[in-house]
Structure 1
Amino acid sequence: IADFFRNLDHLITLHQRKYDKLQVLKKAMLEKMFPKNGSSVPEIRFKGFTDAWEQRKLGEILQERNTRTSDFESNPLYSLTIESGVTPKTDRYERSSLVTKTEDLFKTVKPNEFVTNPMNLRFGALGYNKNAFTVSVSGYYDVFSIDDDKCSGFWNAYFKTPTAMNIFDNAATGSLIEKRRVKYSTLQQLAFYMPNDLSEKAEIGKYMDTFDHLITLHQRELEKLQNIKKSMLEKMFV
């Protein structure tokens, strides 16, 4: 019994260390692969890309989406969280109470389209649909396509950098501090340094998405092992 739990603790520690290491590495790369402090180039770039990034308004590459639905069979209901981005609602979530007979209150989000929460955008409440199918989210959220959905991974990472968070925070408006928000109309007016070459955006996005994928894998494995340990503690002792 002691050996069993010793091995389980060892596995939990390994995955925790890998998870923590990936989080630290991702944070460092977010700061180095995107411009900061008014610079037009990031500290680290992929080989073959040398042109300076140009400052452009997001409105030049954003296209708002406002298709409504209450058909959760065809468009599974998803939520938006700061931690996980666009993620499925839990099985315990009651959907029947959300369906209205008079109007469709939920917005559809096609693959690679973005979702932001105006109220919490400055805290990182954003993400894009990584599924191969269309989902639906609260009608309160802003849904849009950016760069024709070709570089969603790039923008998903960029929008979570300290530089972007500062831009969003400065742009937020509202009479109460806790209710300040970044409306879609405001988002369109914000200027960001960005590469003209879509292939550079795609390379950066692919790299950052790999981080997210590995972090999620280790997080799931860690949670799985912790649940197994909890279950075995309850069953292997009188």
Structure 2
Amino acid sequence: MDKQKKPAIRFPGFTDDWEQRELGEICTSFEYGLNAAATSYDGENKYLRITDIDDSSHRFNYDDLTSPDTDISVADNYKLSEGDILFARTGASVGKTYLYRHYDGLVYYAGFLIRAKVKPDFDAEFIFQNTLSDKYDEFIRITSQRSGQPGVNAQEYAEYPILVPSLNEQVKIGAYLAQIDNLITLHQRKLLKLKKSKSWIKERIIERIGGKEDAI
């Protein structure tokens, strides 16, 4: 990025300068999560906690679904919708982020998470991708320093600086990076499946060599 805030590589047709904004200018609000325990999943209302955000893909991990142990009828303020980004605010996972996507269904977010609602004139995917950068990691490392447990509060998140192009260019970049993430996740799943298959085959071979009744 040069002094005119133009990247060296960009999609064809875009020439405008990028503008530096703070996250607080890009989002309408920063709200803390629901202060409720988790209970058995009721089949509809999902409860998203820090531990439910996959460390590598930043997607909702469905392995241990739960529901919020509270009266759902009065918890609408904690229901996620398109354009919502969650930020972990304390502990070892401080800085971890998650972007709500419609296929995750009906989701409520828990305490120790902060929700930022991205304004409609910005692309949520583009903003989210900015939180997966080395620059963001450095911001979290510096900002989260506390005398006790590391943490970043809503006001500090609101001060995170982001360079943004026009909305059309944001959409292009966000979609492109999301596509790469999807490919990475797909290959990671294939690799995991292969590792499990290898482990199963290895166990069967060891059983046979070990003199089991079904040994050859």
The verdict on a shared fold, with TM-score over 0.5 as the criterion, is yes
Counterpart selection for 2:98 from 127, 138, 158: 127
**Is residue 155 of structure 2 the alignment partner of residue 185 of structure 1?**
yes
Query: Cα 1:138–1:86, aligned 2, differ >3 Å: closer, same or farther?
Result: farther
1:10 is matched with none
Distance 1:182 1:136 in 2: 21
Q: List runs of 5+ in structure 1 lacking aligned partners.
A: 1-34
Counterpart selection for 1:206 from 153, 161, 175: 175
Counterpart selection for 1:175 from 139, 142, 147: 147
Counterpart selection for 2:25 from 60, 64, 68: 60
**Is residue 201 of structure 2 the alignment partner of residue 232 of structure 1?**
yes
Distance 2:88 2:10 in 1: 30
Distance 2:62 2:27 in 1: 27
- Could you report, residue by residue, the CA deviation over 1:91-136 in whole angstroms, capped at 9, with x for unpaired residues? 4x6x47x6147986x9332234111102269965112012333312
Shift of 1:150: 5.6
Which residue type is aligned with residue 200 of structure 1?
A: E
1:44 is matched with 9
Distance 2:121 2:62 in 1: 24
Identity of aligned residues (%): 24
CA RMSD of aligned residues (A): 3.4
Whether the aligned pair in 1 keeps the contact of 2:94 and 2:152 (CA below 8 Å) is: no
Give the TM-score taking structure 1 as reference length: 0.68
**Is residue 103 of structure 2 the alignment partner of residue 143 of structure 1?**
no
Give 1 or 2: higher helix fraction. Answer: 1
Shift of 1:191: 2.6
Whether the aligned pair in 2 keeps the contact of 1:65 and 1:145 (CA below 8 Å) is: yes
Distance 2:194 2:121 in 1: 36
Shift of 1:183: 1.0
- Could you report, residue by residue, the CA deviation over 1:58-94 in whole angstroms, capped at 9, with x for unpaired residues? 2112123658588854332332243231413424x6x
Shift of 1:227: 0.9
Count of matched residue pairs: 197
Give the TM-score taking structure 2 as reference length: 0.75
